Amino acid sequence: MCLGIDGRGAKDQIAIAINKRGIQSIGHKFNPTKDEENYIEAAKNYLYREDGKPRIFSLNGKRYYLAVCYDVFGIKQLSLPNPEVNVVLSLVHEFWPRGEGASGNNYFARLGFAGASKCWNCPVFGSAVFFNRNIPKNWPSGVFWNKGNKNQFKWKYRDNPLKPNKEFYLNISEGKAMVRIFELD
């Protein structure tokens, strides 16, 4: 299980991967937004080990990288070399209706997820909370870039070859949770 935690008034933004043996992987956000630069406790670099735990974990022969929200933008913006991972998992904070807070879900998929996928040549999966709005049916929670040098600003959801094998909704006390299942080769 992977989960994202905002602690100490969002000064700590971390992703954690846990299995039946306990914590396997931890990563603080390494790429803060301009508003967060002097506020959050950021990781020293994109591979920094938190409490001796790596940011990358293995499962079923694949290596997974934990990204905290805006970290997916940092992968491409900083031209970071792929540390031999097969998948990026991004734990995104939230998307609000326009005018009520962060609402750039399209921007996030196009430039964040697709940008990291393009840079590291692997799929990027993200989870997010949609506050006071419906989850857009076509919002891609999984993205794989296969458009070569195409300008990312021209990338459309229909360009994404990654489709879930199964999708369903769960009713929870806060509203609805969309669950998508992807099978990777």
Walk along the chain (185 residues) in steps of 10 and give the mean pLDDT of each run.
80 91 95 88 95 95 96 96 98 86 81 96 93 86 94 91 94 90 87
Phi and psi (nearest 5°) for 45? -160, 175
Q: Which domain holds residue 151?
A: 48-181
**pLDDT for the residue 136:** 85
pLDDT (0 to 100) of residue 138: 87
Does a structural domain hold residue 173? yes
In a domain, 109, yes or no: yes
pLDDT for the residue 47: 98
Q: What pLDDT is recorded for position 185?
A: 76
**pTM for this model (two decimals):** 0.93
Residue 157 lies in a domain: yes
The pLDDT value given to residue 175: 86
Letter string b/e over residues 91-120, b meaning 16 or more CB atoms within 10 A of that residue's CB = bbbebbeeeeebbebeebbbbbbbbbbbbb
Instruction: Provide the pLDDT for residue 174.
Output: 85
Domain-located, residue 123: yes
Q: Is 38 a member of any domain?
A: no
* Structural domain total, the chain: 1
Is 85 a member of any domain? Answer: yes
**Is residue 11 one of the residues assigned to a domain?**
no
Residue 32 lies in a domain: no
Q: What's the pLDDT at 87?
A: 98
Q: What is the pLDDT of residue 77?
A: 95
